[in-house]
Amino acid sequence: MLDIKFVRANPEAVRENIRKKFQDAKLPLVAQVLALDEEYRGVLLKAEQLRALRNAGSKEIGRLMAQKLREEAQAKKSEIAALGEELEALALKEKELAAAVREIMLVLPNIIDSSVPIGRDDSENVEVERFGEPVAPTFEIPYHAEIMERLGGLDLDSARKTSGNGFYYLMGDVARLHSGILSYARDFMIDKGFTYVIPPLMIRGNVATGVMSFAEMENMMYKIEGEDLYLIGTSEHSMIGKFIDTIQTKECLPHCLTSYSSCFRKEVGAHGIEERGVYRVHQFEKQEMVVICEPEESMEWFHKLYAYTVELFRSLDIPVRTLECCSGDLADLKVKSVDVEAWSPRQQKYFEVGSCSNLGDAQARRLGIRIKGTNGNYFAHTLNNTVVAPPRMLIAFLENNLRADGTIAVPEALRGYVGGKKELKPG
């Protein structure tokens, strides 16, 4: 969420930012919010003037009573009472206007970083760098669900009966591999100096609107019927919410946290849910990294975070590339974002396995996460990045470590997390 003072001082910059994100339908909102803000400030000024009159009148009543001028005092009391009624009406108007201003401010997109490429959608994202040599095997690589089924590790049919499409049972070596990858990712981040956290899987509505836009909530989050609770779509939601309405000291920053959770997503939109595979599902596990830091440090942290994901995937012999998200592909709260994509030998192309985002002070402003400063408090910056998110990461792992005989090579870094096995064999 932008600072209304910034919008007042830079309305054309806000409009240009909206144009860069190809959200021209929001352009009229700038004039609307400025008009509402002007009216709101007028109400505040009027209320301040009336309170001054009321205070002066109260003193006048005391003086008149001391002089035993009771009729004059009673007349002044009537005036004060009328002022009180007017102040009550102004208080209601103030609350109404503040809510109207906030409603618009919540949908105005954050100002993107000047380095973000301009483009309409993800088809115009820009490749930054490749890591590792993509392999084109001489043998046919089956669809990932078939690889898992051959290992005796996937049951989609039973999951459809219990839960519907978008759910799955993982079993045996595949389930162990899934857990092993998450444990490896946890320890990898702990070794980078991050604190391990297991967060709540549900958050209240004010936290949900604090960490994402209304459109994202509608398309992603499951609401608990009859309660002010939502299932998280990523642990970033409850991890950032952990700091709601707090004032951080410089000495305690940055907060570097790595969190494990189940995640739940409606996956509403054009992509839909797969019937056969586990690439796009309603429930999955994820190891996340979250940083709360000083504003001037956030871009440095941004580059560190996605570099950690690249390092982890390369340690498991998976080629990856980084992709800069263009302006039209950035969610409204994001300042800058880079996707990490893994190589798919079967498809002969890269696919997304993680996303790193710098949100500037947008989430902190919505949630009231401040830093205590020498000359007043100011908002922190927040960042998040995927470490790994099985089962999607499993697809990359299985395809890149599949051998011609159907066995799966287990890289040395992961063997201690799967019982010391060097390979997984079909059942």
Residue 116 domain-assigned (yes or no): no
pLDDT tens-place string over residues 79-132: 888 878 888 899 999 999 999 999 999 999 999 999 999 999 999 999 999 999
The candidate with the shortest Cα–Cα distance to 247, out of 411, 364, 395, is 364
130 is catalytic: no
CA distance 278 to 394: 9
CATH of the domain at 256: 3.30.930.10
Residue 397: CB partners within 8 Å, gap ≥ 6?
177, 181, 316, 318
Mean pLDDT score, 185-206: 97
Mean pLDDT score, 261-290: 83
pLDDT at 71: 77
Say whether both 98 and 129 belong to one domain.
Answer: no
Say whether both 73 and 152 belong to one domain.
Answer: no
Beta bridge partners of 322: 129, 340
Name the pLDDT band for 406 (thresholds 50, 70, 90): very high
Please pick, among 213, 344, 392, 399, the residue that the annotation labels catalytic.
392
Say whether both 197 and 71 belong to one domain.
Answer: no
Please pick, among 179, 352, 415, 423, the residue that the annotation labels catalytic.
352
Please pick, among 186, 355, 357, 365, the residue that the annotation labels catalytic.
355
DSSP state of 3: -
Say whether both 44 and 128 belong to one domain.
Answer: no
Residue 289 domain-assigned (yes or no): yes
Residue 117 domain-assigned (yes or no): no
Domain boundary among 105, 138, 164: 105
pLDDT at 218: 82
Contact 262, 247 (CB under 8 A): no
CA distance 181 to 174: 10
Q: Which domain holds residue 67?
A: 4-105
Beta bridge partners of 170: 154
Please pick, among 265, 321, 365, 370, the residue that the annotation labels catalytic.
265
Mean pLDDT score, 252-256: 97
Name the pLDDT band for 271 (thresholds 50, 70, 90): low
DSSP state of 297: G
Mean pLDDT score, 33-52: 93
Name the pLDDT band for 1 (thresholds 50, 70, 90): confident
Residue 411 domain-assigned (yes or no): yes
Say whether both 341 and 395 belong to one domain.
Answer: yes
344 is catalytic: no
pLDDT at 394: 95
Domain boundary among 105, 136, 152: 105
Name the pLDDT band for 302 (thresholds 50, 70, 90): very high
pLDDT at 274: 58
Say whether both 133 and 267 belong to one domain.
Answer: yes
The full DSSP string for 117-173 is PP-SSGGG-EEEEEES-----SSPPPPHHHHHHHTT-EEHHHHHHHT-TT--EE-HH
Say whether both 54 and 160 belong to one domain.
Answer: no
Residue 93 domain-assigned (yes or no): yes
Q: Which of these ranges, 10-19, 138-147, 214-223, 240-249, has the smallest mean pLDDT?
A: 214-223
280 is catalytic: yes
Total domains, the chain: 2
Contact 284, 392 (CB under 8 A): yes
pLDDT at 265: 93
pLDDT at 269: 55
> Pairing mode, if any, of strands 378-379 and 336-344?
unpaired
Which amino acid, 89? A
CA distance 126 to 396: 21
227 is catalytic: no
Say whether both 135 and 74 belong to one domain.
Answer: no
Residue 190 domain-assigned (yes or no): yes
Residue 114 domain-assigned (yes or no): no
CATH of the domain at 97: 1.10.287.40
392 is catalytic: yes
Say whether both 94 and 177 belong to one domain.
Answer: no
CA distance 406 to 151: 9
Q: Which of these ranges, 17-31, 54-68, 357-371, has the smallest mean pLDDT?
A: 54-68
pLDDT at 40: 96
Domain boundary among 105, 136, 159: 105
Say whether both 232 and 361 belong to one domain.
Answer: yes
Mean pLDDT score, 144-163: 96
The candidate with the shortest Cα–Cα distance to 380, out of 397, 365, 396, 395, is 365
pLDDT at 403: 95
* Residue entry with tokens 């952990």: 242
How much of the chain exceeds pLDDT 70, in percent? 98
Residue 59: CB partners within 8 Å, gap ≥ 6?
none
> Pairing mode, if any, of strands 222-223 and 408-409?
unpaired
Say whether both 99 and 132 belong to one domain.
Answer: no
Residue 111 domain-assigned (yes or no): no
Please pick, among 280, 294, 297, 415, the residue that the annotation labels catalytic.
280
Name the pLDDT band for 305 (thresholds 50, 70, 90): very high
Say whether both 88 and 136 belong to one domain.
Answer: no
Question: Is residue 273's pLDDT more than 80?
Answer: no
Across 390-407, b (16+ Cβ under 10 Å) vs e yields bbbbbbbbbbbbbeeeee
pLDDT at 270: 47
Contact 370, 379 (CB under 8 A): yes
Mean pLDDT score, 62-70: 78
pLDDT at 136: 85
